[in-house]
A and B are shown apart, each in its own frame.
Chain A
Amino acid sequence: MKNGLITAGIDIGSTTSKAALWIDDHLGSHVIGPSTTNPRATARECYERVLQDAGLQDDDVAYIVGTGYGRAKVSFAHENISELSAHGRGAKTLLPSARTVIDIGGQDTKVVLLDAGGQMLEYVMNDKCAAGTGRFLDFIARSLGISVEDLEKLHASGDYQPVRLSSMCSVFIESEVINLVNDEVPLPFIVQGLHRSIANRVAALAKRVGLVEDVVITGGVAKNAGVVDALQRNLRVTLKTFPDGVDPQMMGGIGAAVIAKEMYLKRNK
C-alpha cells in the first residue's frame, strides 16, 4: 500500500455527495458534487473522482465506509454508518476539543453531543420540516431573486436590525418576506431576519440535546457566515471553525473515512 493506511468515506446526501480519503492520520483528497436520482452511480462516480484526484487506485484503499441518506446504495462500501456518527467523528478528528456538532444540511439538521472521548452521547434530528435547513434558504433566496452566496454579504452589509418573522413554516415565511420587500424594508434586515429564523429553529433543536463547548457547525449552511452569526447570537457561544480551512460540508465523508480506518484496524488485529 502506498503512503500508509488509506481509507475512504463516501457521504451520499440528498443534495450533495462527497468522498474523502484518510491517509494514516491526515486528510487526503476530497471531492464534492451534486447528488442525482441514482445514488448508486453517484457514489461510484464520487469515489472514482477522489481516487483520480489522489492518483490512487481502488486497490490502494483498505476500507470504505458509506454514510448519508443514500448510504445503503454505496454498494462497494464495506460497511455503512449513520451520518450522525460520521459527522461526530469527523468534527472530533479535525477539532479534538469539539463536543457539540451542529450540522445544518440541505434537507435536514442534526445536533450531536459527544463525550470527552469523542463517543456519541446524544443526538437529535429534524428531518421532517424545511424550516431550519439549507432548503429554506434556497427557497427564500430564489423568491428574493438573489443567490445563496449573496445572503452572507447582505447579512454583514450594515447595522444588525433583523426583522421579526412570525411564521413557523417556511412556506408562510415566503409571503411575509414578499410583503416586507413591498413595504421597502431594507434587504439586509430581511436577510438578517431570515438567518435569525433559521438559527432559532436550529438552536431549539440544539437545546434539546444540551450544549457543551466547544460547539462546531458542519454542513453546507455552515459556510454562510450570516447564519453562523445569527446562531452565535442565539446560543451565546462562539462557534469554532475547523483548522486549515477544511470545508465543513465534507465532515460526514471525513468522519466516515476515519471510522473506516478504525473498523479496518479492529477487524485486522
Chain B
Amino acid sequence: MKKDEILSAFQEVIEGPRNVYLDEWVKAGGKVMGYYCSYIPEEIFTAAGFLPYRIRGAGSEDSSDGDAYMSARVCTFVRHTISLALRGEFDFLKKVKLPFYSMLSVPRAPKERLFTWYLDELKRLKAEIEAHFGLAITEEKLEGAITLHNATRERIRSLYDMRKKGAPPITGEEALTITIAAHLMPRDQFNTLMDDLLADLTKAEGARGYRARVIITGSELDNPEYIAGIEQQGALSVAEVVCFGQRSFGESIESGVDDPLNRIARHKFFQVPCARMVECFDDQVAALKDTVREFNADGIIFQRMKFCDPWAGDGHNLYWRMKKEGIPFLGLEREYQVPASGQVKTRVQAFLEQMGK
C-alpha cells in the first residue's frame, strides 16, 4: 500500500470509537481492555490476550450526557468519553461475562523511592486480571508482549527520525493520526501498515514550503484537525510531545534481562513525565529542549485544555523557562474536539511573525 492509502486507513481508524480492525478482532471472539493514560502498560493486556484500547472521545458529537453527570466545569475530554460510554459506544468493552474494572494508583513523582509501589500496583492489576478471567499472564507472554510493542515503538521512532530532516515527509496532522491509530488497533496489523508506510516515505520528497518548524506539546490531544489548523498558517509540526504522540512510546524496553514486569514498569514509570508528575520539572524542560534541538525546531506551541489543572501547573512555568532559554513559546487554550479556530490561527500567525518567519 502507498502512503496516501495507508494514511487514509489510519484516518478511518481514529474517526470514531470503533474501527474496522477492532471490529474484526471482536468478531473473531477477541477481548478488548479499555484504559486511560500513558502510565498504564499495554503489555499486560497484550500478554493476557486482550487488545489494549486507549479511550478517547472521538465520535462524540456533544458532551451533554457527560456534562449532566459531571458538571460543565471539568475536563472536556473526560466529559466526552463519559458521554460516549453512557450512549453505549464502548459496549465492545463489555463483551465478557462480567465486566472488569480496576484503578491504578500511579505515584505522582517518578522517583526511585516510589517505584516499588508502582510495580506492586502493576502486580496487583495483573493478579486481578488473572483472577477475574481465569487466565495466567506468564513471563513468557509478557516477553512476547514486550517484543510486539517494541516493534511498534521502533517504527514510531523511525517515523519521527524522518521528521528531523529539512523536508519532513509527513505533517504533524498526519503523524498524530498515525500515533493515535497505534493505540486503537491490533499492534501487529499496525506494524505491518507502518512498514509499508515507512518504505514509501523513505522515497518521498517531503515538504519544504513551511514558514517555521514547531514542536507541539501540552494537554492530551487526540484530534489531528487541531494541528491542521496550526499547520495551515505555515507552522509545520515536526514532533508532537503529547501522550497520544511521541511521548508515550519512548525507547524500546530491553529484552530478556530480568523479570519482564519489572522492565515494563521501569519503562513506563520513568518515561518523559507528563504534567501530572511532580519533582521532575527540570526533566520535563530538558526533554523538551532536547526535542527542540533534535528536530531543529524554531519554537514550541503549547496547548492546554481548559480545566486541566496539571497542565495549568506547567503552562506558565514552561513559558518563563523557555523565555529564559530564548526558545520561542506560544501558549494556547483549547476545548476538546474544537478545531483550531480563527482565534488560534491569528495567534499562530502572530507567533510566526514574532519569530520573524
Contact = CB atoms under 8 A, between A and B. Distances in A.
B350 interface: yes
B71 interface: no
Interface stretch (A45-53, A82-90, A154-162, A239-247): A82-90
A128 interface: yes
Contacts of B356: 119
Interface in B10-46: none
Contact of B353 (A85, A125, A127, A128): A85
Nearest to A112: B350
Interface stretch (B55-63, B98-106, B341-349): B341-349
B354 interface: yes
B349 A81 contact: yes
Contacts of A121: 354
A81 to B, nearest CB: 6
A83 B343 contact: no
B343 A128 contact: yes
Interface residues on chain B, size class: under 10
B346 A125 contact: yes
Chain A CB within 10 Å, residue with most, of B347, B354, B356: B354
B354 A69 contact: no
B353 A82 contact: yes
B134 to A, nearest CB: 53
Interface of A is mostly: mixed
Contacts of B343: 125, 127-128
A67 B353 CA distance: 13
B348 to A, nearest CB: 9
Interface residues of A, number: 14
B280 to A, nearest CB: 27
A85 B349 CA distance: 9
A83 B346 contact: yes
Interface in B170-221: none
Nearest to B354: A120
Nearest to B331: A124
Nearest to A81: B353
Contacts of A136: none
A85 B350 contact: yes
B350 A82 contact: yes
Contacts of A127: 343, 346
Interface in A112-130: 119-123, 125, 127-128
A8 B354 CA distance: 22
Interface string B324-357: 0000000000000000001100110110011010
Interface of A: 69, 81-85, 119-123, 125, 127-128
30 contacts: A69-B342, A81-B349, A81-B353, A82-B346, A82-B347, A82-B349, A82-B350, A82-B353, A83-B346, A84-B346, A84-B350, A84-B353, A85-B350, A85-B353, A85-B354, A119-B354, A119-B356, A120-B350, A120-B353, A120-B354, A121-B354, A122-B354, A123-B350, A123-B354, A125-B343, A125-B346, A125-B347, A127-B343, A127-B346, A128-B343
Question: What 10 A-B pairs have minimum CB-CB distances, sorted nearest first?
Answer: A82-B350, A84-B350, A82-B349, A85-B353, A120-B354, A127-B343, A82-B346, A123-B350, A82-B353, A81-B353
